[in-house]
Amino acid sequence: MAVRLDKSWIPLNDENVAKLAAHLGVYQLANDDGEILYIGMAGARSLFGLKGELKTALEEPPAGVTQFRIEVNMSYRTRRLELLQTYMHDHGELPAANTDIDANSIGRLRPG
């Protein structure tokens, strides 16, 4: 499994969210340029999993968000942390809309 999520971006709209299943997993939100603005997860307490989380993102999108991509993954907690650590390594800070997590608490990863 690649450390970085490299799937194609999908426009965040009703039609595409409706196609999603209620799996557990992680997702990323981005602007038109593909710049990641938020890294989230659909955990077991998420009603309707990824579909539910992306529906919420569609209804209340963080500023600038127009696209998304997902990864179905039962290890949603550790996978999300890995994606956050990798983003920190690449950019020196967390995605702009990830104000829900303390940058000092996520640890350090230096992927090759």
Partner 1 sequence: MDLALTEEQQLIVDMVRRFVREEIVPLEADLDPDADELPAEDFDRLVEMVKNMGLYGLDTPPEYGGPEIDLVTRCLIAIECGQHRAGLYAPCYYVFGGARQAQLFEATAEQQDKYLYPMLDGKKKVFFALSEPSGGSDPARAIQTRAVRDGDDWILNGTKLWISGADRADYGLLFARTGGPGRGGVTAFIVETQWEGFNVRRAVHTLRSAKYANEIELTDLRVPHENILGQEGGGFAIANDRLMRQRIPYAAECIGIAVKANEMAVEYSKIRETFGAPLSERQGIQWMLVENEIDIRAMKWLTFDAACKADRGDPFRTESAIAKLQCSELSGKVVDRSMQIHGGLGVAKDLPLERWYREIRIRRIGEGPSEVQKHVIARDIIGSGLR
Q: Name which position in 21, 22, 47, 74 contacts partner 1 (CB under 8 A).
A: 74
* From 13-21, 41-49, 64-72, 91-99, span contacting partner 1 (CB under 8 A): 41-49
Closer to partner 1 by Cβ: residue 8 or 105 = 105
DSSP 33-52: T--EEEEEEE-TTSTTHHHH
Residue partners of 54: CB distance under 8 A and separation at least 6: 12, 17, 20, 27, 68, 70
**Residue 23 in contact with partner 1, rule: CB under 8 A:** no
Question: Tokens for 69?
Answer: 């991509």
The torsion angles phi and psi of 99, rounded to 5 degrees, stand at -80, 0
Instruction: Tell me if 28 contacts partner 1 by CB under 8 A.
Output: no
> Residue from 13, 18, 103, 111 that binds partner 1 (CB under 8 A)?
111
Q: Catalog residues that contact partner 1 under the rule CB under 8 A.
A: 1, 3, 43-45, 74-79, 81-82, 85, 105-112
